[in-house]
Amino acid sequence: MRQFSDIEDLSGLVRDALGAGCHVAAVERLRGGSKKGVYRVRLDGTRTPSVIVYSWAEAENFWPGAREADPADPFAPASGLVPFLTARRSLDSLGARVPRVLLADDSRRRYPADVAVVEDVSGGTLEALFETDPARAAGALDNLAVMLEVMHRHQGGEHYGRVDLLEQGGSASEISCERRVLDRALRDLAEAAGRDDRIKAAGAALRDRLQELADRVSPRTEYGLIHGELGPDHVLVDADGHPVLIDIEGVMYFDVEWEHVFLRLRFGERYTALVRPGLDSQRLDLYMLAMRLSLVAGPLRLLDGDFPDRAVMQGIAEHNAKEALALLPLV
């Protein structure tokens, strides 16, 4: 039985962040996270009505039996305070809005895990705002487009990889981005085929198609700063209407086409506000099929464990299995 945090666990931590005068009135664990716990802590005795606490405790990680990964692989699971703080510094240096950090601690003296107390951005997610206030959402989306243009045009030099790994001197650049994506897609295909009969039946055709698309990609060594999983649920909107990026631990220098494929999937018809000229169509084709297979294998892997929002994950896997098969050429 997983044990999550409660008022008693978080009260001292929040007082250290905001001062002894604040009182924790309530704690709510927010739904949706699979690698860290996200808690909204409501307060009395302070001008700040609430804060968010991130906990990277083992009990908060729902991913079962993570497969062995190259530590330099930018797609290796990113979790913990160091990736979070490094990503935050990288984004903040470019003017990208991220939640303010009130306290960060990996000493395990205050709390038995990496933990951070951050600003509770008041406006909710961009995803929700599309439904409740379309005009305000449109303004935030335009601002997001500007923010992404700055990020994507910021070159990371001759190496790609997650920003925390690059800061530690690591590099993944011996293998090209497109080869990295291809290898990952082939692993995802094998994993998905073991869980989905339709993918299994089309396994040979999908492998051939991945290789065919990869063979069309020309070499390139230009890497922009990307979020990696940027959907409208990972964008908050502050009181001034500015977009605020969250779930940033996987921020990396990589092909910007990888970001744009995910943006296209998650923003749908609203992606037209985010598209930019000059994207490599061959990379987009390869990365789209690779992304679809990732979004089959990943959710099904998560369902091997005890992740609570099971219908959501099953729906994601089902939808992306159909879309992956639809990307096969007609015969």
Structure tokens at 147: 């923010």
**Same-domain status, 202 and 307:** yes
Tell me, yes or no, whether 53 and 131 share the same domain.
Answer: no
> Is 70 exceeded by the pLDDT of residue 231?
yes
- At 155, is the pLDDT very low, low, confident or very high (cuts 50, 70, 90)? confident
**Gap between the Cα atoms of 173 and 161, Å rounded:** 8
DSSP SS3 for 230: coil
| 111 found inside a domain | yes
pLDDT at 63: 84
- 150 and 108 inside one domain: no
Six-digit token pair at 204? 């040979």
Domain assignment present for residue 79? The answer is: no
The domain in which residue 283 lies consists of 126-326
pLDDT tens for each residue of 246-265: 999 999 999 999 999 999 99
Count of structural domains, the chain: 2
Question: How much is the pLDDT for 79?
Answer: 86
CA-derived radius of gyration, the chain:
20
Parallel/antiparallel/unpaired status of strands 115-119 and 50-55: antiparallel
Same structural domain for residues 11 and 143? no
Residue 195 sits in the same domain as residue 275: yes
User: Which amino acid appears at position 88 of this protein?
Assistant: R
186 within some domain: yes
Pairwise CA distance, residues 300 & 196, whole Å: 9
pTM listed for this prediction:
0.94
